[in-house]
Amino acid sequence: MANGELVQGGVPQHIAIIMDGNGRWAQRRGLPRLAGHRAGTLNIKHIVRECIALRVPYLTLYAFSTENWNRPSWEVRGLMRILSEFLDRELRELHADGVHLRHLGELDGVEPALQKRVRSAIDLTRNNTAITLAVAFNYGGRADIVRAVRRIVESGIPAQEVTEQTISEHLYTVGMPDPDLIIRTSGEWRLSNFLIWQAAYSEYWTTPILWPDFTPQDLRRAVADYGQRERRFGARPEG
C-alpha cells in the first residue's frame, strides 16, 4: 500500500467461511451428527444468495479438511454422501442463480462417482458470473503450499525468480483475490489449516452461532462489522 494509505473495509470482495458446529447442532437436538451435516448443506444456498445480493464476488466455503479424514469412517462416508446429495439437489438452482462453482483441494482420493459429479458441476457453471463459489473439500492450507512448491519446482522456475506472486499463482485459489473476511461459526478461534497463505491480511469474525443456524442476517452483521474496520496492511495513518 503506497504512502501508508488506509483502506476502509467496504464490501468484501472475498468472504471465506469455516462452516463449523454441525455436530453440536445435531447433538443439542438429540439427532445423529449426520443430520447436522445435512442441515449445514441446506443452509448454503441462503448464504450464497445473500452474498449475491450484497455483491460479494467471491465466496469460499470450507466443507472438508485434509484432517477430517481422521474422523470415524462412518462420518467420512456420510459427509461424502451428503456432498453428493447437495450437488444433486442444488446444482440446478445454483446454476440458475449464476453461480460459478470452483473446487479447492485434491479431488484424487475422493470416490470416483463424487469426483465426476464435482467436475461436471464445475464444467456446467464455468461461464456464470453472479458469484464464484469455491468449495474447499479435501483441502488443507499446508497441502496447498506443498503442492504449489512442487509445481513451481517441476516447472523449472529459477529459485531467485520465485516471488510471493509465483506462489499465489500456483495455489488452488489462483485467480481469486485473498479473502478479505474470514467468518467462523460455532465459537472457535482458529483457522484449522484453512487458506493459511491467503489469510495473511484477512479480517476475522467469529460467532457462537452454529453453522446450520447461521442466517443471512448474521452474514450482514459480519459484513457491516467488516465495513467499519480500518485495514492498515502494516502501514500507519499519515500525519
Binder of Mg ion out of 15, 20, 132, 226 (CB under 5 A): 20
172 scored as a contact of ligand IPE (CB under 6 A): no
- Specify the residue, 25 or 58, whose C-beta has the smaller distance to ligand IPE: 25
Contacted by 105, from ligand IPE, Mg ion, none: CB < 5 to 8 Å by type: none
Nearest to 68 by CA among 185, 189, 172, 194: 194
- Pick from 18, 118, 148, 219: which binds ligand IPE (CB under 6 A)? 18
* Candidate list 14, 22, 44, 59; residue touching ligand IPE; CB under 6 A: 22
Catalytic residue among 20, 43, 138, 193, which?
A: 20
Q: Is 225 part of the annotated catalytic residue set?
A: no
21 binds ligand IPE (CB under 6 A): yes
Active-site annotation holds for 108 = no
Give min distance, CB of 96 to ligand IPE, in A: 26
| Angle between helix 216-228 and 33-53 (nearest 10) | 60
Cβ-in-10-Å burial (0-12, 13-18, 19+) of 52 comes to: middle
Give CA–CA dist 143/68, Å, rounded.
13
> What one-letter code names the amino acid at 156?
G
Residue 166: all three cell numbers together? 509465483
Tell me the CA end-to-end span of the chain in Å, nearest whole number: 16
User: Kind and range of the H or E element at 62?
Assistant: strand 58-65
The verdict on 23 binding ligand IPE (CB under 6 A) reads yes
Query: How distant is the alpha carbon of residue 79 from its chain centre?
Result: 17
Report H helices in the chain: 22-28, 33-53, 73-96, 112-124, 141-154, 164-169, 216-228
C-alpha cell at 167: 506462489
Of 57 and 105, nearer to Mg ion (C-beta) is 105
Largest CA distance in the chain: 60
Active-site annotation holder among 22, 43, 68, 193: 68
Options 22-30, 96-104, 166-174, 223-231: segment touching ligand IPE (CB under 6 A): 22-30
Which of 15, 39, 59, 79 is close enough to bind ligand IPE by CB under 6 A? Answer: 79
Which window, 123-131, 153-161, 184-192, 223-231, contacts ligand IPE (CB under 6 A)?
A: 184-192
Q: Which residues bind Mg ion (CB under 5 A)?
A: 20
Question: Catalytic site residues?
Answer: 20, 68
Q: Which residues bind ligand IPE (CB under 6 A)?
A: 18-24, 62-65, 68, 79, 186, 188, 190, 192
